[in-house]
Chain A
């Protein structure tokens, strides 16, 4: 029987929601919202407007506004200063890509969040945050191929559509991240932030080339390498028949006998993924599913905000 090694209890800040608690929240929409709220707690919330050509509305000028956006025609007609504001194109475009292959269904125990549930929670929360900010957010899911694609939009009701797709997502089929990303890359014409949630198992490292190609197309790519603690620590003992979750492969082995070798393989696997991401300037996050998703999301958003302010 698999037993978990004694893990130190992660230090939690007030307001952080533990994965075990999230697992009890069956509704993804609520779960995402809880996570998003916890991630945004304490963060300065502001809407940012872009500078696209798609006009959205007028706003009365106030000191500090960019005079370049003064609508001279409205001034001529109404003798008042109005500033032109543009549609979401002027804001962030984001696309959440979620791996729904069979391997993401681990663990299968009801009391623990499996990797897919963790990924959909994070993706939903991220979508929630972005939608609240008025940013355009879309969704793509894949297993052996790109399954569903919800284009990135910032309109009302779009968030619910994304959450519905995520809610209905089930782990199944083999993982072909490379094929999916290549397909996605073909259809993704506008520069976007692509946030990928995957365990990269079963040939996932090959997909890093596709991720690199996304980056080469000037997309901003972040990879959430989602792994269960069991996969990182291999707490199994005795003779065990390990059965693949995606195909019919299996192996019977004395788990203790290969534990050292497995841990070395995992370390090498993670190091390879991180190394390739770094060389492709892809943002890499090793994501343990026993870690509070809100905290993970907060760190990500904080990092993105910081990068943006630096860019300005």
Chain B
């Protein structure tokens, strides 16, 4: 035991008062000659034993009362400072490693595991002797030290403890212990030994954790660098005494959002995966409330039957009123760990693409119409999209292009020159334009009027030479750019349906890289088949062959329907590329910088803003590190000075659900993992563990003073009882 104010122990002298009073009282009896001395002696004999015991109790109560008062005033710090002294040959260096992983956010009886750990850490600091030093480390995704080197200053240690907050991250305690051990060897200039001499240290590392299994992965390095010593590892289960049944936990580990074709427009399917961390089949299914929310609005409320020890998927569908990237979250009914009952996601609600198809070769015979196959491909199972409007080239000049998202020039040989400029403007303002070839396409007109938006100037039609060796008069498709959003649908067997397309004629493009373009697929003779290029805010896709059977049989190939749909959605900026980048709290996020951006800003869930100015935006991507909270991170871009939303780069960060499994290891198992001993903890370690438990379980000064006050009250009570009995005679 040590004391905050040892001088106040002088108050213990006060405990002598009852003894002095007793002695004074004893020395001054009144003398009384009395005849019946025999009866008095018999009476004394009768009551002496009871009377003597009572007097001793009374004396002890008074002494206890005054002693307790003096000790309470002296600020006792129970918890084994003496033990520290006796177990080490000198001052101890203590590293307190607080588990700061997400599992420490779990609440039991209204108190978080972290709060318990901090309380016990304070007890350890309380118990430090005057020459002891300590440091505090926090186990997070990247373990960190709260101070560079051990310090004897308790106030600094208390402040550091108060500053600890549990993260939403997964932590490896082995790494944290290694870091703390390394820091224990950090000596100040005064402490540095003579050169060539390695000092000996009494080093201890006390880990305060809920012992949840995920935090124990690798063994820790316990040799203190620069010394001859190894740190003694002591693990403390801060949830000791908490029923293991309370440590069952369910978590949403993943949420996927998918646009659902064939449903109402803008319908998104949200699939949440719920994992129950409990002993398998210990109980039956437990219904849990689950809700899909956007901001504070409940979109879908339902229930899911969670079977302990199993994984279950819950599917919810919702038709959003507006398209766009919608941040949503799925919320599961609360349990001990609230943080993993919420999972954030972005629902990329597909917009409805308004299409204008300019039919280059209308025909009274449907199958001979240029767009016969195109129309059917776009209508197939596409109830979520509006029907395209079909016009002829002659009507193009009367069409209000602003009312459409995508214009398809389907084998249009020529158009009015004014329409060319309108189409180019349409594209540069954000519209999508698809051009398909026909045998009589006026390449000069196209180059002249649409040259500023075409991926390449058109050179002319190439008809595959039937005499060429091995060609047979046709070319097939090859080298699909599968990484492109449009082409992602072609995987596995589906790719065969695309590549087997037979084309007999196609448009040649001018060589040279006048502007960036991407070839989605090419002919097996190396010429581009489908190319894409951005133009202004819009995009152009050039299909170098026809979309009827005039120049290619692609229209009757299985790949035609999905490719057309994908291209239209792409041009209509409705093809949300699934964001496969799942960001966990604490992980960096790459932000793609739009071309021409003057500034970029990311706003965290708590409102904290990170802004990059133009001078910093010298790369195509920026790294955003401050993902410290789960939730929606809104990206904004400025092209002209005012920030506007940048939905494509907005993202969500989620808690690391590896920490959701709260089921604990035993102290011995955890120790064996950290020490790298498969046999489990040694006797010495177990002894150290017991001591650590005793230390951390020690009473706080407030509790101790409270107990002392209770003791005083008890002593008063006993004294009063005895006195009352005497007076009552």
- Are A258 and B47 neighbours in the complex by a CB distance under 8 Å? yes
Which A residues touch B39, using CB under 8 A?
Answer: 201, 231, 262, 265-266, 269
Q: Known interface pairs A240-B30, A257-B726. Does A251 touch B41 (Cβ–Cβ under 8 Å)?
A: yes
Q: Which of A223-244 contact B (CB under 8 A)?
A: 228, 230-231, 236, 238-244
Complex Cα distance, B45 from A258, in Å, reads: 9
CB neighbours (8 Å) of A56 from chain B are none
Indicate which residue in A108, A236, A244 contacts B37 across the interface (CB closer than 8 Å): A244
What is the CA–CA distance of A85 and B602 in the complex, to the nearest angstrom? Answer: 148
Interface residues of A in 194-244 (CB under 8 A from B): 199, 201-203, 228, 230-231, 236, 238-244
Interface residues in A7-44 (C-beta closer than 8 Å to B): none
Q: Which of B702-724 contact A (CB under 8 A)?
A: none
* B-contact 0/1 string along A241-283, CB 8 Å cutoff: 1111110011111101111111011100100000000000000
Please name all residues of chain A whose beta carbon is closer than 8 Å to the beta carbon of B729 when the two chains form the complex: 256-257, 259-260
Among B30, B37, B51, B726, the residue within 8 A (CB) of A251 is B37
Contact with A along B36-63 (1 / 0, CB 8 A): 1111111110110001000000000000
Chain A residues with CB under 8 A of B727 = 256
**Cβ–Cβ contact A108 & B46, under 8 A:** no
Q: Tell me if B43 and A258 are in contact (CB < 8 A).
A: yes
A103 beta carbon closer than 8 Å to chain B: yes
Residue of A nearest to B728 (CB): A256
Are A244 and B44 in contact, CB atoms less than 8 angstroms apart?
Answer: no
From DSSP, what is the main secondary structure of chain A's interface residues? mixed
Neighbouring A residues of B28 by C-beta, 8 Å: 239
Question: B26 at the A/B interface (Cβ < 8 Å)?
Answer: yes
- In the complex, chain B residues 1-34 whose Cβ is within 8 Å of any chain A Cβ: 25-26, 28-34
Kindly state whether residue A2 has any CB partner on chain B within 8 Å. yes
A110 at the interface (CB under 8 A from B): no
Asked if B34 and A243 sit within 8 Å, CB to CB, the answer is yes
The distance in angstroms between the C-alpha atoms of A231 and B38, with both chains bound, is 11
**Which of A2, A244, A261 touches B47 (beta carbons < 8 Å)?**
A261
The winner among B34, B38, B40, B43 for most chain A CB atoms within 10 A is B34
Q: Which chain B residues lie closer than 8 Å to A201 at the CB level? A: 35-36, 38-39
Mark B94-124 against chain A: 1 for CB-CB distance below 8 A, else 0: 0000000000000000000000000000000
Interface: A115 (CB within 8 A): yes
Interface size on A, residues (CB 8 A): 43
> Do A245 and B33 touch across chains, with their CB atoms under 8 A apart?
yes
- Does B25 contact A239, Cβ atoms closer than 8 Å? yes
Give the chain A neighbours of B47 by CB distance below 8 A: 257-258, 260-261
Contacts of A108 in B (CB 8 A): 33
- Judging by beta carbons under 8 Å apart, are A262 and B43 in contact? yes
**Complex Cα spacing A1 to B32, Å:** 9
Assess whether A249 is in contact with B41, with CB atoms less than 8 Å apart: yes
Q: Which B residues between 316 and 358 are near A, CB-CB below 8 angstroms?
A: none
Q: How far is the CA of A106 from the CA of B29 in the complex (A)?
A: 20
Tell me whether A261 and B32 are in contact (CB under 8 A): no
On whether the beta carbons of A238 and B41 are closer than 8 Å, the reply is no
Task: State the Cβ distance, A19 to closest chain B Cβ, in Å.
Answer: 17
Residues on the A chain within 8 Å of B42, using CB: 265
Q: Is the CB of B43 within 8 A of A245?
A: no
List B contacts of A262 (CB < 8 A): 39-40, 43
Docked complex Cα distance between A301 and B499 (Å): 152
Question: CA–CA, A100 to B22, complex, Å?
Answer: 40
Could you tell me if A241 and B32 are in contact, using CB atoms closer than 8 angstroms? yes
Distance in angstroms from A121 CB to nearest chain B CB is 18
Give every chain A residue within 8 A of B37 (Cβ-Cβ): 202, 242-246, 249-251
Closest to B25 in A: A239
Using CB atoms, name the residue of chain B closest to A259. Answer: B729
Nearest A residue to B38 via CB reads: A202
B44 touches A241 (CB 8 A): no
Whole-angstrom distance from the CB of A15 to the nearest CB of chain B? 31
Instruction: Find out whether the CB atom of B40 lies under 8 angstroms from the CB atom of A253.
Output: yes
Question: A256-B729, A257-B47, A262-B43 are known contacts. Are A231 and B36 too (CB-CB below 8 A)?
Answer: yes
Please state if B40 and A258 are interface contacts (CB–CB under 8 Å): yes
Bound complex: CA A115 to CA B36 (Å): 12
Known contacts A251-B44, A261-B47; is A240 also within 8 Å of B38 by CB?
A: no
Q: How far is the CB of B35 from chain A (nearest CB, A)?
A: 4
Query: Are the CB atoms of B30 and A231 closer together than 8 Å?
Result: no
In the complex, what distance in Å separates the CA atom of A231 from the CA atom of B44?
Answer: 15
**Contact between A245 and B31 (Cβ–Cβ < 8 Å)?**
no
Do the beta carbons of B35 and A199 come within 8 Å of each other? yes
In whole angstroms, how far apart are the Cα atoms of A102 and B43 in the complex? 21
In the complex, residue of chain B having the shortest beta-carbon distance to the beta carbon of A243: B33
A105 (CB) vs chain B CBs: closest residue: B35
Nearest residue, chain A, Cβ from B51: A257
User: In the complex, are the beta carbons of B46 and A261 less than 8 A apart?
Assistant: yes
CA of A34 to CA of B267, assembled, Å: 131
A261 touches B38 (CB 8 A): no
CA distance A246 to B47 in the complex (A): 24
In contact, B32 and A252 (Cβ under 8 angstroms): no
The CB with the most chain A CB atoms within 10 A, among B35, B39, B42, is that of: B35
Known: A202-B38, A257-B47. 4 other contacts (CB 8 A): A106-B33, A243-B34, A244-B37, A262-B39
28 A–B pairs (Cβ distance < 8 Å), ordered by A: A2-B32, A103-B36, A115-B35, A199-B35, A231-B34, A238-B30, A239-B25, A239-B30, A240-B31, A240-B32, A241-B31, A241-B32, A243-B31, A243-B32, A243-B33, A245-B34, A245-B37, A252-B29, A256-B729, A257-B726, A258-B44, A259-B729, A260-B729, A261-B43, A261-B44, A262-B40, A265-B43, A266-B39
9 closest residue pairs by CB, A with B: A103-B35, A261-B43, A106-B35, A244-B37, A262-B43, A241-B29, A258-B43, A239-B29, A261-B46
